[in-house]
Amino acid sequence: MSLLQSIDPTNAEVVWEGEQADAEAVHAALDRARAAFPSWAALPLDRRIAHVHSFKAALDARREELAELISRETGKPLWETRGEVATMIGKVDLSIAAQAERAGERHSAMPFGEAVLRHRPHGVMAVLGPFNFPGHLPNGHIVPALLAGNTVVFKPSEMTPATGAAIAACWADASLPGGVFQVVQGDRRTGEALVAGVIDGLLFTGSAGAGAHFRRIFADRPHVLLALELGGNNPLVVWDGDIDEAASIVVQSSFVTTGQRCSCARRLIVPDTAFGRDLVEAVAALAERIAIGAWNDDPQPYFGPLISAAAAQDAKARVDDMLARGVVAVRRFEVLERPSLAFVRPGILDVTGVAVPDNEIFAPVVQVTRVSDFTAAVASANATRYGLSAGLVSEDDALWQRFVLESRAGVVNRNRPTTGAAGTMPFGGIGDSGNHRPSAYYAADYCAYPMASFEAPNATGNVAAIAAMLHSGSAA
């Protein structure tokens, strides 16, 4: 086994190191999960719920410790990682409610007895986690999967293994039976071994490119459930209203978490009018005031570094490519000269009239398009292969009704950031942003399959029924 390390992107210090799981170790974990599945699936739901409540208590007991660990691995400020841990804790009760509402058991009286709707677990679920929300996003798959009666093998992002190990420690405190939940640490090779193993489902949050790869390799494995939560080249249309309020929504949509949210606005669409010009100037002025710093700075910064110096260089290369195509920099995206080259300044690019790639830049970069009318604005918003989130800033109810009707996205917000979401709602997209299996409250849907049963207490009345049908047929 080779060594894996995670690095604090604020100062390049090693946060965690450990051995990577090779293919043999991954397959052994899958074998243990397979062996544990029958008894876990047969365990009464209230007992599975009790285990999950114990996990919640373990999270709560480690609340500050876990927030600091996530900050060290991702560079996110403590104010944000504290919120992430709180979301993980809240996910437990939301998942229990969602399971009861969307995947529970229903009985209906029938003349012969009853019709029963049940939901059955799939089996062994592989979960691949992302680096941007290394606690919250995999947790959104793991909790509902275990509640449904599946067993889980989880591979955290190779950028955030310490967070994965901390999640495993919390589940250990929940006293799960052996093999029900396991973590395998490693890079892409570990993930490939997990995906190639004998699994019944793959629950993945990550890039659209990786999602497209999984669609291809699972084309001939239809028995494996595939739930993809992917990125987006998300549009935000700002059409009217208070300039300062609108600019705040743009900055929150585009630059929160250093632009490392899949729901961040990547494209700002404005009218080619004085309002549009003033709005872009206001966004640039507000972006200039953004406090950038380390996760433990006091006062806290608005955002920290990107996940790595390599990620910063990749984003810069993409921006430079657009500038070479004729794009105008309203505010140039910059890699800052700090001890860690993962720190960046947000960029605002005017792409009006220039053909640019329909790609997600996972960084604080927003592309401005100026359009002549609202019809062109909606067309521009939908001109993407993605479909995760979209937003409209407008006080005009008629424009909102049109926008929400015509938008091609799974999350469509009005006068709120595109990053706005809730655990009580579904979260996911269409096109290259997912595969019609939204997460959050709707994760219960893909963690179990429905089973319809028609049941009678004994086999009576069937002979008479078939005799009547035969008689009717012969008479005819």
Q: What is the mean pLDDT of residues 419-424?
A: 88
Same domain assignment for residues 280 and 342? yes
Furthest C-alpha separation in the chain: 93
Residue 357 has pLDDT above 50, yes or no: yes
pLDDT value of position 475: 46
Residue 472 in any domain: the answer is no
DSSP state of 292: B
Q: Are 154 and 138 in contact (CB under 8 A)?
A: yes
Q: What is the pLDDT of residues 142-155, one digit of tens each?
A: 999 999 999 999 99
Q: What is the pLDDT of residues 42-61, one digit of tens each?
A: 999 999 999 999 999 999 99
pLDDT value of position 215: 95
CATH of residue 17 = 3.40.605.10
Same domain assignment for residues 334 and 447? no
Same domain assignment for residues 322 and 264? yes
CA 154 – CA 176 distance, rounded (Å): 15
Report the SS3 class of residue 200.
coil
Same domain assignment for residues 199 and 268? no
Q: What is the pLDDT of residues 6-46, one digit of tens each?
A: 999 999 999 999 999 999 999 999 999 999 999 999 999 99
CATH of residue 349 = 3.40.309.10
Domains of the chain: total: 2
pLDDT band, residue 473 (cuts 50/70/90):
low
Residue 465 in any domain: the answer is no
- Is residue 428 left, alpha or beta, with left meaning phi > 0 and alpha meaning psi from -120 to 50? left
The mean pLDDT of the chain is: 96
Report the SS3 class of residue 59.
helix
Q: How far is CA 130 from CA 135, 136, 234, 328, in A?
A: 9, 10, 19, 32
Q: List, in sequence order, every beta strand (DSSP E) within 86-210.
A: 106-110, 113-121, 124-128, 151-155, 181-183, 201-205
Residue 1 has pLDDT above 70, yes or no: no
Q: List, in sequence order, every beta strand (DSSP E) within 304-380.
A: 328-331, 334-335, 344-345, 347-350, 365-371
Could you tell me how far CA 215 lies from the centroid of its own chain? 17
Q: Which residues are 392's β-sheet partners? A: 237, 414
Residue 342 in any domain: the answer is yes
Q: What is the pLDDT of residues 258-291, one digit of tens each?
A: 999 999 999 999 999 999 999 999 999 999 999 9
Same domain assignment for residues 352 and 325? yes
pLDDT value of position 338: 87
Same domain assignment for residues 387 and 281? yes
Residue 372 in any domain: the answer is yes
Query: Can 24 be counted among the known catalytic residues?
Result: no
Same domain assignment for residues 401 and 450? no
Structural domain that includes position 221: 3-230+434-454
Q: What is the pLDDT of residues 140-197, one digit of tens each?
A: 999 999 999 999 999 999 999 999 999 999 999 999 999 999 999 999 999 999 999 9
Residue 342 has pLDDT above 90, yes or no: yes
CA 468 – CA 351 distance, rounded (Å): 75
pLDDT value of position 85: 98
pLDDT value of position 467: 86
Residue 470 has pLDDT above 90, yes or no: no
- Catalytic residue selected from 80, 170, 262, 264: 262
Residue 466 in any domain: the answer is no
Same domain assignment for residues 259 and 399? yes
Residue 470 in any domain: the answer is no
- Catalytic residue selected from 84, 158, 229, 360: 229
Same domain assignment for residues 295 and 269? yes
Q: Which residue, among 16, 6, 69, has the nearest Cα to 307 in the 3D structure?
A: 6
Same domain assignment for residues 75 and 112? yes
Same domain assignment for residues 369 and 278? yes
Q: Are 205 and 177 in contact (CB under 8 A)?
A: no
Query: Which is higher by pLDDT, 444 or 1?
Result: 444
pLDDT value of position 462: 80
Residue 42 in any domain: the answer is yes
Global pTM value: 0.95
Residue 334 in any domain: the answer is yes
Q: Are 227 and 122 in contact (CB under 8 A)?
A: no
Query: Can 229 be counted among the known catalytic residues?
Result: yes
Same domain assignment for residues 198 and 263? no
Tell me what percent of the residues of the chain surpass a pLDDT of 90.
Answer: 93
pLDDT band, residue 476 (cuts 50/70/90):
very low
pLDDT value of position 474: 53
